[in-house]
Structure 1
Amino acid sequence: MLCFLKFHTYTRVQVLIDICGVDYPSRKRRFEVVYNLLSTRYNSRIRVQTSADEVTRIFPVVSLFPSAGRWEREVWDMFGVSFINHPDLRRILTDYGFEGHPLRKDLPLSGYVEVRYDDPEKRVVSEPIEMTQEFRYFDFASPWEQRSDG
């Protein structure tokens, strides 16, 4: 689809503005990856959305849009959505020792460990914490947009 949009005469999408992810835990395919594109020739924007679950891998678009490399790394780092044969799929915003993906709705609010700088020891220490997590209810219904789950 993105290849068609980039090379077709009537679309000529040349710019990938960004890629972002959304987590809908109540859906069967809970993750949505959104591509925001721009055609400077026709002065138009288009949004392409695809969905995935925890095990589905998405084809990268870095070969079409070189800037997609960093955006795809961010989506993987924040949500855990994996891209097939990505040339550089590693953490970009979180520490390499971080466990989990911070923008997923199932990540505990309190986290798993407390990371702090210990002044007497002059180093960063991490200690496990135990806190009960409160119940969280996610209501994604929008009064402005009607959407069908597909």
Structure 2
Amino acid sequence: MQDIAKLHKDLIEDQSLKMIIEEIEEKNGELSVKIRAEHLTTFLFQMRDGMQYLFKVLLDVCAVDYPGNDKRFVIVYHLLSIEHNLRIRVKVWVNEDDFVPTIKDIFSSSHWYEREVWDMYGILFIGNDDLRRILTDYGFSGYPMRKDFPLTGYVEVRYDAAKQGVVYESVKLAQEYRNFDCKSPWEGEDYILPGDEKASK
């Protein structure tokens, strides 16, 4: 069984990966590797099939939105090596207009994950011929996990038991917006809280 330090050393010394890996970060017992999108399939093939790696399980594909960065999105691939009892995180930074190669020929489970990332962030995966909505409605407009996605003004879909069918209506927030004064009643506020009148008697 390997450990993180040995995996880190193997990645640095692997001649086939020298031109692919942009950055390796070891933090809190976890290893993250940053690569460019055009090297994604080459790198993941090596991670899956290389005898010193054997990351044969794709645990997850997710994304994060950083609107202020030059490259707005980071796509994160979480891999597991059962043989070596190790995990690795692979990060790919892309812009809104960039295309990312699909990895469904390397990890068949990625098909659903890529659909989810496309549905939530609008990131296109070249080679995935089934990028349809998976968590939102088919007529949904926009990508709800982007930081600039508005919280109001859209419609929602729900089943109406009275009409016995699906209805579209404006989004309704369950609770009114509230203003909090963020003052603690234990710091001598000038208003009387319910029940305080009993203490003054």
Query: TM class, shorter-chain normalised?
Result: 0.7 to 0.9
Aligned residues: 129
Out of 142, 152, 155, which is 1:100 matched to? Answer: 142
Question: Match for residue 39 of structure 1?
Answer: 81
Question: Match for residue 134 of structure 1?
Answer: none
Alignment of 1:15 with 2:60, yes or no, is no
Distance (whole Å) between structure 2 residues aligned to residue 92 and residue 115 of structure 1:
14
- Normalised by the length of structure 1, the TM-score is 0.77
Out of 57, 67, 89, which is 1:25 matched to? Answer: 67
Do the aligned residues in 1 keep the contact of 2:153 with 2:170 (CA within 8 Å)?
Answer: no
Q: Tell me the CA shift for residue 120 of structure 1.
A: 7.4
Which residue identity is paired with 2:134? I
Larger Rg: 2
Deviations 1:17-44 (A, max 9, x none): 0000100111111111000000011110
Which residue identity is paired with 2:142? G
Give RMSD over aligned pairs: 1.9
Which residue identity is paired with 2:54? R
Distance (whole Å) between structure 2 residues aligned to residue 26 and residue 42 of structure 1:
38
Stretches of structure 2 lacking an aligned partner (at least 5 in a row): 1-42, 172-201
Deviations 1:75-129 (A, max 9, x none): 0001111100213111111100100111111110114335566777665444568
Deviations 1:44-100 (A, max 9, x none): 000000011111010111100000000000000011111002131111111001001
Distance (whole Å) between structure 2 residues aligned to residue 30 and residue 125 of structure 1:
35
Stretches of structure 1 lacking an aligned partner (at least 5 in a row): 130-150
CA 1:89 to 1:115, structure 2 compared with 1: closer, same or farther past 3 Å?
closer
Q: Tell me the CA shift for residue 9 of structure 1.
A: 1.2
Distance (whole Å) between structure 2 residues aligned to residue 6 and residue 92 of structure 1:
27
Do the aligned residues in 1 keep the contact of 2:78 with 2:89 (CA within 8 Å)?
Answer: yes
Which residue identity is paired with 1:85? G
Question: Match for residue 3 of structure 2?
Answer: none
Give runs of aligned pairs for residues 52-131 of structure 1, distance below 5 A.
Answer: 52-113=94-155, 115=157, 123-126=165-168
- Normalised by the length of structure 2, the TM-score is 0.59
Distance (whole Å) between structure 2 residues aligned to residue 79 and residue 38 of structure 1:
25
Which residue identity is paired with 2:69? R
Q: Secondary structure at the match of 2:69?
A: coil
Q: Tell me the CA shift for residue 4 of structure 1.
A: 1.0
Q: Decide which structure has greater helix share.
A: 2
Taking only the aligned residue pairs, the percentage that are identical comes to: 49
Do the aligned residues in 1 keep the contact of 2:96 with 2:122 (CA within 8 Å)?
Answer: yes
If asked which structure has higher relative contact order (CA below 8 Å, sep 6+), I would say 1
Distance (whole Å) between structure 2 residues aligned to residue 9 and residue 122 of structure 1:
57
